[in-house]
Amino acid sequence: MNVGPSASRSFARRSASADSVAAFAPPVSTSGVMRSGRRFNNSVATAAYRPSLAGSTPRLVQSRCPRLSVAPESCISWRGRLNAYRFGALGMAVAAQRLTHGVGARWHAVRRRYKWWQLALFVIGVIAFVSVMSALFFAVGNKPTRVYTDAPPPSVDSPDFATALGAIVGAPVEHGGSIQILNNGDEFVPALLASIDQAQRTINFTVYIWSEGTISNQVLRALEQKQRQGVLVRVLLDGLGSLKVPDEDFEPLIAAGGRVQKFRTPRFGKLTRFHRRTHRRSIVIDGEVGFTGGMAVSDVWLGHAQDPEHWRDIMFRVTGPIARSLQNAFVDLWVNSSGELLIDPVHYPLGAPAIAEGVERFVHLANSPSDDDHSLAYFYLLPI
């Protein structure tokens, strides 16, 4: 059928008008709005401009919102909601189609390029990788999902607290010795260097973090000097926590006769225990004086936390039986790293101090990630 020029121009004007949809006008709130000869009593209406025929004024179309408790602009007719749901479902279908488009073709291309046994080896490798990662980073041991007690826990400052704690961790309550709190590095480092200088027989030193810097140089210099004076020095480094200190820094101490070992150095064939590090801080001098707490050998503990680059932490200087308990923690790690078992009286001097005023009651707890009893977790649960 032939269409004349005037009809073509009219059709073009009508199409242009239909393509230019006007923006939504502000909602109209009325107490009575006429639509199709009916009056909406006590209702709210929303209005929108819609295109009409070519050359005419757009028509104002109103839709009733029967809910007076909501704002007019939030009112959408059920037809509008239905269309929104339809377009939303359509959009999700299109997105899913785009994501899966060509998967089958790519899979056939992979099958043509690789043989079946190559694909099988790849799948086995993926399964092995996931299994190794699960063994490395998931918790070791079985722990109950819920821990409870029928009896109220004792107060932290009561004598029964230490007894209950000893029962939980499987260690007896002991007496004797002293505890001194050292706040930050400006109290800990001088006390440590002074105790090293007073050593007569042995120095056993292990911390988790050992980094190159001022504290490391001071400690290594003091240890080397005592080793040359005849004091037997043993240093146990964590294979991961000591990565920031070069091995050359320990060569003068080793040349003087000191013994340095690394705990679980990362190596092929030992990856299943890579995440099981030693976070113990156990510094014992002559089996009688010890240091433990949160600090280690790094310049981040210099000073008194005067800025964000320097850390706030606490160490404890202990004497007597408490220090000998720290010796046990060191010996346990040392024999597993070097094979040397320290059982002679040099490391465990005889003579327990008598119970007197001012001495402490304590429970010794040494925990490891490889333990299945989770005694450290129960230790933290008891005071809560």
290 shares a domain with 223: yes
- Pairing between β-strand 44-50 and β-strand 173-175 as defined by DSSP bridges: unpaired
Q: Are residues 92 and 107 in the same domain?
A: no
Mean pLDDT for 355-371 is: 63
- Report how far residue 239's alpha carbon sits from residue 237's, in angstroms, rounded to the nearest whole number: 6
pLDDT attached to residue 50: 47
* Same domain for 259 and 130: no
| Domain annotation covers residue 322 | yes
Q: Using H for helix, E for strand and C for coil, what is the string for the chain?
A: CCCCHHHHHHHHHHHHHHHCCCCCCCCCCCCCCEECCEECCCCEEEEEEECCCCCCCCEEEEEEECCCCCCHHHCCCHHHHHHHHHHHHHHHHHHHHHHHCCHHHHHHHHHHHCCHHHHHHHHHHHHHHHHHHHHHHCCCCCCCCCCCCCCCCCCCCCHHHHHHHHHHHCCCEEECCCEEEEECHHHHHHHHHHHHHCCCCEEEEEECCECCCHHHHHHHHHHHHHHHCCCEEEEEEECCCCCCCCHHHHHHHHHCCCEEEEECCCCCCCHHHCCCCCCCCEEEECCCEEEEECCCECHHHCCCCCCCCCCCCEEEEEECHHHHHHHHHHHHHHHHHHCCCCCCCCCCCCCCCCCCCCCCEEECCCCCCCCCCCHHHHHHHCCC
- Do the domain assignments include residue 378? no
Mean pLDDT throughout 120-132? 89
Q: Are residues 186 and 296 in the same domain?
A: yes
Pick from 96, 129, 146: which residue ends a domain?
96
List the domain range (segments joined by +) for residue 327.
Answer: 172-364
- Measure the CA–CA gap between 316 and 114, rounded to whole angstroms: 63
Cα 203 from Cα 195, distance rounded (Å):
10
pLDDT at 113: 84
| Mean pLDDT for the chain overall | 75
Same domain membership, residue 322 and residue 202: yes
Could you tell me if residue 146 is inside a domain? no
pLDDT of residue 274: 63
Domain shared by 91 and 118, yes or no: no
> Do residues 87 and 110 share a domain?
no
One domain, residues 91 and 117: no
pLDDT score for 358: 52
The pLDDT-based confidence of 49 (bands split at 50, 70, 90) is: very low
Share of the chain above pLDDT 70, in %: 62
pTM of the predicted protein model: 0.60
Tokens linked to 365: 């707890």
Whether 382 is covered by a domain: the verdict is: no
**Residue 379 covered by a domain:** no
Q: How far apart (Å, rounded) are the C-alpha atoms in residues 61 and 52?
A: 11
Give 239-292 pLDDT, tens digit per residue: 888 889 999 999 999 999 999 999 887 766 565 566 667 788 999 999 999 999
Integer Cα distance of 163 and 363 in angstroms: 9
- Same-domain check for residues 22 and 113: no
Residue where one domain finishes, among candidates 46, 78, 96: 96
Q: Do residue 106 and residue 91 come from a single domain?
A: no
With respect to residue 297, please indicate whether it lies within any of the assigned structural domains: yes
pLDDT at 188: 97
| Residue pLDDT, tens place only, 217-254 | 999 999 999 999 999 999 999 988 888 999 999 999 99
Task: Examine residue 145 and state whether it is found in any structural domain, yes or no.
Answer: no
350-364 residues labelled b (16+ CB within 10 A) or e (exposed): eeeeeeeeebbebbb
Q: pLDDT by residue (tens digit) across 153-203?
A: 788 888 788 888 888 777 788 888 889 999 999 999 999 999 999 999 999
Asked which of 96, 128, 156 is the last residue of a domain, the reply is 96
Q: Specify whether 130 is located in the same domain as 176.
A: no
Is 203 within the bounds of a domain? yes
Number of structural domains the chain divides into? 3
CA dist., res. 314 & res. 300, Å (int): 13
- Does pLDDT of 17 surpass 80? no
Examine the domain organization and report whether 318 and 222 are in the same domain.
Answer: yes
